[in-house]
Amino acid sequence: MSTSYKIKDVADRSGFSAATLRYYEEIGILPEASRTPAGYRLYDDHTLDRLAFISRAKQLGCNLDEIADLTVAWDGGECGPVQDRLRSLVADKLVAAQQQIVELMTLTSELQHAAATLESHRPDGPCDDDCGCVTDPAGAAPQQVALGKKPDHERDTPPIACTLGSQSMLGRLDEWQRLLGHVESRDQIDGGLRATFGPATPLAELMRLAAAEQDCCQFFTFVITIDSRGVALEVRAPDDGLPVLHSLFGNPT
């Protein structure tokens, strides 16, 4: 037998505000609530389950239109169609996120170049072609795409940077994504992540990619282990590089 909840109870249990619950009902993401004789909304356990599903979809980056479409599948009562739709959405969002990583890293490189330019020439009079205020002065941009700033006492260590161009970087992300599809678990280790791979993992490809990544992102360290737990890749980075590490290789599960 389902329990009835007032809107404040549902807000407390679900984490959604009362205003959000009313809005979701208005746009059809939540079905219209029943009412008490005094006009107060009443919700049931099914609504709480639905809100938990909506919360998960939001966590995965789904917008309201996508959530509305997903709830139609969810209302069918079968997990399979819901998983199929979510899998497709997650795959699309993963591609978009990888592209954003490349764009942000490229923008960081351009900003780094601009910062260096703005320090190199200060004319006595008006701005000129070499001051960097109006145009990009002639000269090659830095080859490294900087991803973070190292503290002064660590300047002798490898910078949090990647030497790949934006197109090569996108291709590398695609290669890693295909290989990381074989990962069965991710565990946190001191300074990084341990990804354990399944038995069908192409080991030659794992070694090739780890070596290639070490060449362009020298702030990473890679160790491939084989023991009773299976084949694993241990990736470590300085504290400044951990966000990049997790964006590429995932978070502990």
Transcribe 99-147 into DSSP letters: HHHHHHHHHHHHHHHHHHHHHH---SSS--TTSSSSS--SSPPPSSEE-
Reply yes or no on whether the pLDDT at 30 is more than 90.
yes
Comparison of pLDDT for 31 and 109, the residue scoring more: 31
Q: Which of 17-21, 45-49, 105-109 has the lowest mean pLDDT?
A: 105-109
Tell me the domains of the chain and their CATH numbers: 5-77 (1.10.1660.10), 100-249 (no CATH)
pLDDT at position 124 is: 86
DSSP helix/strand/coil, 31: coil
In angstroms, the first-to-last Cα distance of the chain is: 35
Compute the Cα dihedral for 187, 104, 85, 31 and give only its sign: positive
Distance, in Å, from the CA atom of 145 to the CA atom of 48, rounded to the nearest integer, reads 46
pLDDT at position 151 is: 43
Residue-wise pLDDT for 93-123, tens only, equals: 877 776 776 676 667 667 767 777 777 788 8
pLDDT at position 102 is: 67
Task: Calculate the average pLDDT of the chain.
Answer: 84
Reply yes or no on whether the pLDDT at 145 is more than 70.
no
Comparison of pLDDT for 113 and 195, the residue scoring more: 195
pLDDT at position 144 is: 39
Reply yes or no on whether the pLDDT at 12 is more than 80.
yes
Distance, in Å, from the CA atom of 148 to the CA atom of 121, rounded to the nearest integer, reads 25
